[in-house]
């Protein structure tokens, strides 16, 4: 067997040429001190802000504070196995998470590692956790409705695709229930959903996941969990990770909905990290850039222009208030960033009004632009009427004699409040919402006793489904209350009232 000297020479040359590229040149530092989810590292002089670093035990960290002689690193994982003097390597990469359809139906941690025991995530695509939000020129106005299936919200504070609508209220007032109902209602809309649980009890999160699974919503939903027992760095990073996963759909011309439950806990985690890093505290001991922490997150929700595929990312951030203190630091910050808020009032909740939405304080800055024409027409003055009813109700409690017109407005208000009540995990189709609100606002329930309003509503919807499907079909297709549809609806209500009265006479 003969050897060709030219071939041998070319192989040697190629090996020499590629030799330098095989060298793994990385900065290596040492841990000076570690504890409470952070580490001070010496020797990483060339590390970038936000760069990922790797500890000896394989846990990743994020360069958080670049100081003169050391780097403050937040540890994204178990910091108890990291010891002083341990090696830390820079990676030259920014933090990224897996994205794509492989995440749908899965429960993951903020780094994209599965928590549900269903094996590895089947996707090869990744996106950086922190990106700059889309610019003004690359967006377009929010005009497409995102139906939550909750009558009170779709009628009075409508949400559009690409909007940021804050859900705010005290603990145990039904904030998570509103968000979960909105996710369940996306079943046939093609909207991909992401639920980010920050600092929640793991038993509570397990309950939410079970409800989503029961209602078939886990097929199009990803749950990102940084529980109450997880270190502060993971709780801080979780909302950004969830947003990166949701953006994959927005930038591919699809629609996504993300729920942050809740950003108060994320702010507390960020405060903990900042104070441990010796950053100067500001109001309520939060660091000065806590506003930027939330604004750079929520500004990533957008309705993209047609040139970018017209995709959208809608966000429902949740904020927990203490004793209804809406003017506290974090609530006012997030209210000023979002396009409206749904305020859930404890008094209403404990009085049995669920969802406990305060119609006076709740607002949507997109308004009727995010409603179908039919809903816009029937619910136009509903928010103001309900707010006026609350004032009138307070006045009537003084025991003053009321004139007939005021008494009639008060009676209708009681019936509308009853009509807008809705059970948990029972979102309603927009056609049914329009029919019910039309019947209430036009006075068709004025003669129905208040305790029987819920029964009237149930039986009326059954009647419309079973006996008047052509009316529902016409309304669903046209999405507008044209004169001929109004006549059909009026005739249907008249027929139903006849049946209702006949049944009442028999009983």
What's the pLDDT at 25? 59
Long-range contacts of 445-450 (CB under 8 A, 24+ apart): 445/412, 445/415, 445/419, 446/408, 446/411, 446/412, 446/415, 448/415, 450/414, 450/415, 450/418
The architecture in CATH of the region 98-370 reads 3-Layer(aba) Sandwich (3.40)
- Contact of 308 with 140, CB cutoff 8 Å: no
3-state secondary structure 338-396: CCEEEEECHHHHHCCCCCCECCCCCEECCHHHHCCHHHHHHCCCHHHHHHHHHHHHHHH
- Give the span between the Cα atoms of 398 and 454, in whole angstroms: 28
**Contact of 330 with 271, CB cutoff 8 Å:** no
Q: Which residue is associated with the tokens 């009558």?
A: 151
Find the DSSP H helices in 20-174. Answer: 151-156
Domain ranges across the chain: 23-94, 98-370, 382-506
Q: Which CATH superfamily, name and number, covers 382-506?
A: ATP synthase alpha/beta chain, C-terminal domain (1.20.150.20)
- What pLDDT was estimated at residue 9? 82
What strand order describes the sheet that includes 363-364?
107-108, 221-226, 192-198, 255-261, 312-320, 166-169, 340-344, 363-364
**Closest C-alpha among 74, 94, 89, 93 to residue 44:** 89
Predicted local confidence at residue 398, as pLDDT: 76
Let me know if 472 is a catalytic residue.
no
CA 170 to the chain's CA centroid: 17
| Cα separation values, 74 from 19, 45, 130, 276, 362, Å | 35, 17, 15, 10, 37
Q: How many CB atoms lie within 10 A of CB 413?
A: 18
- In tens digits, the chain (507 residues) has pLDDT values of 566 777 788 888 887 777 665 555 568 999 999 989 999 999 888 899 999 999 998 999 999 999 989 999 999 988 998 999 999 999 989 999 999 999 999 999 999 999 999 999 999 999 999 999 999 999 999 999 999 999 999 999 999 999 999 999 999 999 999 999 999 999 999 999 999 999 999 999 999 999 999 999 999 999 999 999 999 999 999 999 999 999 999 999 999 999 999 999 999 999 999 999 999 999 999 999 999 999 999 999 999 999 999 999 999 999 999 998 999 999 999 999 999 999 999 999 999 999 999 988 899 998 888 899 999 999 988 888 888 888 888 888 777 777 888 888 888 999 999 999 999 999 999 999 999 999 999 989 989 999 999 999 999 999 999 999 999 999 999 999 999 999 999 999 999 999 888 876 555
Alpha-carbon gap, residue 100 to 119, rounded angstroms: 16
- Which contiguous run of DSSP H or E holds residue 33? strand 28-35
Cβ pair 279, 290 in contact under 8 A: no
Query: Nearest CA to 142 among 360, 322, 371?
Result: 371
User: What is the CATH number assigned to the segment(s) 23-94?
Assistant: 2.40.30.20
Dihedral sign, CA of 41, 47, 53, 57? negative
- SS3 labels along 315-330: EEEEEECCCCCCCCHH
Catalytic, out of 139, 365, 390, 409: 365
Cβ(389)–Cβ(417) under 8 Å? yes
User: What pLDDT is attached to residue 507?
Assistant: 53
- Residue given tokens 């209210």 in the structure block: 335
Q: Which residues pair with 54 in a beta bridge?
A: 60, 89
Rounded to whole angstroms, how far apart are CA atoms 108 and 475?
A: 41
Helix (H, G, I), strand (E, B) or coil at 397: coil
**pLDDT confidence of residue 368:** 83
Rounded to the nearest 10°, the torsion over CA 66, 72, 76, 80 is 160
- 442's enclosing H/E stretch is none
Residues 6 or more apart in contact with residue 107 via CB below 8 angstroms: 114, 115, 116, 209, 222, 223, 225
CA distances from 138 to 298, 302, 306, 311, 446 (A): 16, 9, 9, 11, 49
């Amino acid at each position: 067997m003969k050897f060709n000297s030219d071939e041998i020479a070319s192989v040697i040359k190629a090996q020499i040429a590629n030799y330098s590229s095989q060298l793994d040149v990385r900065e290596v530092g040492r841990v000076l001190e570690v504890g409470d989810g952070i580490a001070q590292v010496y020797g990483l002089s060339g590390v970038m802000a936000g760069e990922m670093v790797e500890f000896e035990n394989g846990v990743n960290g994020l360069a958080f504070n670049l100081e003169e002689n050391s780097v403050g690193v937040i540890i994204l994982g178990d910091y108890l196995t990291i010891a002083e003097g341990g090696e830390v390597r820079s990676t030259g990469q920014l933090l990224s998470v897996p994205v794509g359809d492989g995440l749908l139906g899965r429960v993951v941690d903020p780094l994209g590692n599965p928590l549900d025991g269903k094996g590895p995530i089947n996707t090869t695509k990744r996106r950086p956790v922190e990106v700059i939000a889309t610019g003004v020129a690359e967006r377009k106005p929010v005009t497409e409705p995102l139906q939550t299936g909750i009558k009170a919200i779709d009628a009075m504070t409508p949400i559009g695709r690409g909007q940021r609508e804050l859900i705010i209220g005290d603990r145990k007032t039904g904030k998570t229930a509103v968000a979960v109902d909105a996710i369940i209602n996306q079943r046939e809309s093609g909207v991909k959903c992401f639920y980010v649980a920050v600092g929640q009890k793991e038993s509570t999160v397990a309950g939410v996941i079970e409800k989503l699974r029961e209602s078939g919503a886990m097929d199009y939903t990803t749950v990102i969990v940084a529980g109450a027992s997880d270190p502060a760095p993971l709780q801080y990073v979780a909302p950004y990770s969830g947003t990166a996963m949701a953006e994959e759909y927005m930038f591919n011309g699809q629609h996504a909905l993300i729920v942050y439950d809740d950003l108060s806990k994320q702010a507390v985690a960020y405060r903990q990290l900042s104070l441990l890093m010796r950053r100067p505290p500001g109001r309520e001991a939060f660091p000065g850039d806590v506003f930027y922490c939330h604004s750079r997150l929520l500004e990533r929700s957008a309705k993209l222009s047609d040139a970018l595929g017209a995709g959208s990312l809608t966000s429902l951030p949740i904020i927990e208030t203490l004793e209804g203190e809406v003017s506290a630091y974090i609530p006012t910050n997030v209210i000023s960033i979002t396009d409206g808020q749904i305020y859930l009032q404890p008094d209403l909740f404990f009085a049995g009004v669920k969802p406990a939405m305060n119609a006076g304080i709740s607002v949507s800055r997109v308004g009727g632009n995010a409603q179908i024409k039919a809903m816009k027409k029937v619910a136009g003055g509903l928010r103001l009427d309900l707010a006026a009813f609350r004032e009138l109700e307070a006045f009537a409690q003084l025991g003053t004699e009321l004139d007939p017109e005021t008494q009639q407005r008060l009676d209708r208000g009681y019936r509308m409040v009853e009509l807008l009540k809705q059970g948990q995990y029972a979102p309603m189709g927009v056609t049914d919402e329009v029919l019910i609100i039309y019947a209430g606002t036009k006075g068709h329930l004025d003669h129905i006793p208040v305790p029987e309003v819920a029964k009237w509503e149930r039986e009326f919807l059954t009647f419309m489904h079973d006996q008047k499907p052509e009316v529902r079909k016409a309304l669903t297709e046209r999405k507008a209350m044209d004169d001929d549809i109004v006549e059909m609806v009026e005739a249907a209500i008249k027929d139903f009232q006849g049946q209702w009265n006949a049944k009442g006479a028999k009983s």
